[in-house]
Amino acid sequence: MKKNAFDIMLSVPELKKILVNGFKNIYSSIYEDIPERWISKEMTNKYGYKFSIWGPGDLDETTNAYKWSKSNLFNTNYTVLETLRNLLYYDGVTLIFNDDPSKDIIGTAKVLDIFFIELEKRKIEYFMDGEIKDQLMLIIDGTWGIGSNHSTTLKNNYKTYFPEAISIDNKGDEIGDTEDMLLGIDNTIFFNDNIKKTTQNKGCKKVVLVNDEYHVYCTVDYSKYNDNIVNYFVFFPSNDIKKVYIFKNDHRLVRNEVINNKPVFIINSSLLHYDGER
């Protein structure tokens, strides 16, 4: 089986929506009838409209109350999704995706239908409290830990990256932070004259300059990152742990592509703000 088929899917809005809704349907069928485990989370969209989303809750041993579960992030973590596909494979279900799902959205959607039919059959084993859910939560912990380190690096060095800044927010990097989930905002940087700029911080495999464009090898569903909401992308390449790249956001000069079956976020070089040491 092709590895990491889901990294491309999560860069394609139509396929990402199927993944999000598929988990929503499974979770509601498990937890909706367990009131203390079906938790609401208050959200505010980019227009200021407030609404609630619902998902499973897990017991917080510190407070002895149920809170928003990390399992709500399974639907957009390609390592979790690939792990679930592998679990199905070892249980006799082989799911084969196009090497580039973005070129076969209808065919990929049909395979995803089978994916969720098979997960539905195993929903108690996979998504109620138990060994499999615990292992999937560890994947989320690892991903969140890396992201938290990136935010810490930005907070510690924002004056280097943005010399005219006067402060940066001190968000606690909560798993499932609503600004990050809905708007893509990881941090807000403040300047004089009540000016503020927002960032989305992401790890990536590598950043390569090709002619007048930067190729950033990572999963980005750009439909989430309106350039009036997220002002800068901050990328931390894993192939060079000393480097950070910061780009201004401008929807006219960025795009998603798939190159050699890998998702690539392409950014015009004119948007480069910072290229240097972390």
pLDDT in tens, 33-63: 999 999 988 877 666 778 888 999 999 988 9
The mean pLDDT of 92-119, rounded to a whole number, is 95
* Structure confidence at residue 175 as a pLDDT band (50, 70, 90): low
Q: Where are the domains of the chain?
A: 5-129, 164-277
The mean pLDDT of 96-111, rounded to a whole number, is 94
The mean pLDDT of 74-92, rounded to a whole number, is 95
Q: At a CB cut-off of 8 Å and minimum separation 6, what does 59 contact? A: 65, 66
pLDDT tens digits along 138-174:
999 998 888 889 989 999 999 999 999 999 986 655 6
Strand-by-strand arrangement of the 262-268 sheet: 207-210, 213-216, 262-268, 254-259
Helix runs in 122-247, H state only: 123-127, 131-161, 178
